[in-house]
């Protein structure tokens, strides 16, 4: 399938989506977000793919929602528009998604990276929610996910005062997984994704679901949810295979069943 605003490719069991609006610093317009979700949902449905990487370019992961497209919006046009809903659709992707971030990850771009499961950042990555400078607030999860990740004190600075986080600060505060030199960040993210993609597919989906449940539930409900998923995995061939392989000191072969 050919797209206008993104490029897609595969590398073994890794599906890669790259934003392709370099002149606009990969500002996220409706077309780009729609294509992104079409591509990710296709990878999610493809048994040959185990993990996905979403990326931009060295200068910008994405500098936010497209301000030019949003400038004339009203509450009613916003309500009628699926745009913000694309971040919810990202949440519904079952397989792991890694954001490979270099340069600007601002506004909706930062919110997109945070809606992924893990973030591999280049040394030049810059995270922020500068919507306050436009007279608005983050609208695709920034106030919530940033606060969960870095805590209230810093999230207030980021959302109320447009403070940017460097890659080092983002790592110190638990927002990202690792920092890689700019020339290697995408390669490293794909390598990381390939490691994950080689793991037992059903267990991967349920592990992702269980970790994400932390954001939705109390500890007690989360523990009960985890236990049900844990028990459920004992009905899979992969569990029998993984444990037999361990006991017989051989590598496991996963079938995703």
Interface ranges with ligand CAA (CB under 6 A): 24-25, 27, 63-68, 104, 106-108, 111, 130-131, 133-134, 138-140, 142
Cβ-proximal residues to 101 (8 Å cutoff; 6+ apart), any chain: 55, 56, 61, 113, 119, 120, 121, 122, 125, 127, 176, 185
Distance from C-alpha of 181 to C-alpha of 72, rounded to nearest angstrom: 39
Q: Point out the residues that are catalytic.
A: 65, 108, 111, 131
The distance of closest approach from Cβ of residue 150 to ligand CAA in the complex, given in angstroms and rounded to an integer, is 17
Q: Beta 165-166 vs 126-128: how paired, if at all?
A: antiparallel
Taking alpha carbons only, the member of 29, 23, 32 closest to residue 67 is: 29
Using the minimum distance from each CB to ligand CAA, give the nearer residue, 133 or 235.
Answer: 133
The distance of closest approach from Cβ of residue 8 to ligand CAA in the complex, given in angstroms and rounded to an integer, is 23
Distance from C-alpha of 107 to C-alpha of 104, rounded to nearest angstrom: 9
Cβ-proximal residues to 196 (8 Å cutoff; 6+ apart), any chain: 50, 51, 96, 98, 204
Using the minimum distance from each CB to ligand CAA, give the nearer residue, 6 or 16.
Answer: 6
Using the minimum distance from each CB to ligand CAA, give the nearer residue, 34 or 236.
Answer: 34
Distance from C-alpha of 115 to C-alpha of 17, rounded to nearest angstrom: 15
The distance of closest approach from Cβ of residue 102 to ligand CAA in the complex, given in angstroms and rounded to an integer, is 13
Using the minimum distance from each CB to ligand CAA, give the nearer residue, 8 or 129.
Answer: 129
The distance of closest approach from Cβ of residue 105 to ligand CAA in the complex, given in angstroms and rounded to an integer, is 10
């Amino acid at each position: 399938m050919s797209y206008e605003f993104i490029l897609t490719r595969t590398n073994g069991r890794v599906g890669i989506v790259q934003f392709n609006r370099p002149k606009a610093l990969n500002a996220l317009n409706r077309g780009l977000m729609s294509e992104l979700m079409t591509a990710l949902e296709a990878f999610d449905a493809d048994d040959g793919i185990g993990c996905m990487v979403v990326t931009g370019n060295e200068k910008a992961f994405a500098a936010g929602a497209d301000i030019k497209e949003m400038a004339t919006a009203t509450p009613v046009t916003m309500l009628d528009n699926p745009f913000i809903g694309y971040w919810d659709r990202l949440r519904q992707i079952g397989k792991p998604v890694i954001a490979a971030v270099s340069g600007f990850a601002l506004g909706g771009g930062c919110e997109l990276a945070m809606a992924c499961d893990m973030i591999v950042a280049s040394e030049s990555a810059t995270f922020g929610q500068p919507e306050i400078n436009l007279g608005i607030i983050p609208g695709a999860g920034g106030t919530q996910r940033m606060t969960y990740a870095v805590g209230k004190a810093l999230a207030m600075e980021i959302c109320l005062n447009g403070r940017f986080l460097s890659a080092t600060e983002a790592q110190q505060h638990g927002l990202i997984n690792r920092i890689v030199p700019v020339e290697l960040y995408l390669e490293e993210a794909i390598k990381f994704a390939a490691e994950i993609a080689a793991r037992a597919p059903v267990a991967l989906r349920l592990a992702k679901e269980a970790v994400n449940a932390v954001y939705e539930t109390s500890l007690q409900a989360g523990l009960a949810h985890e236990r049900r998923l844990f028990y459920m995995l004992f009905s899979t061939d992969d569990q029998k295979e993984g444990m037999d392989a361990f006991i017989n000191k051989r590598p496991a072969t996963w079938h995703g069943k």
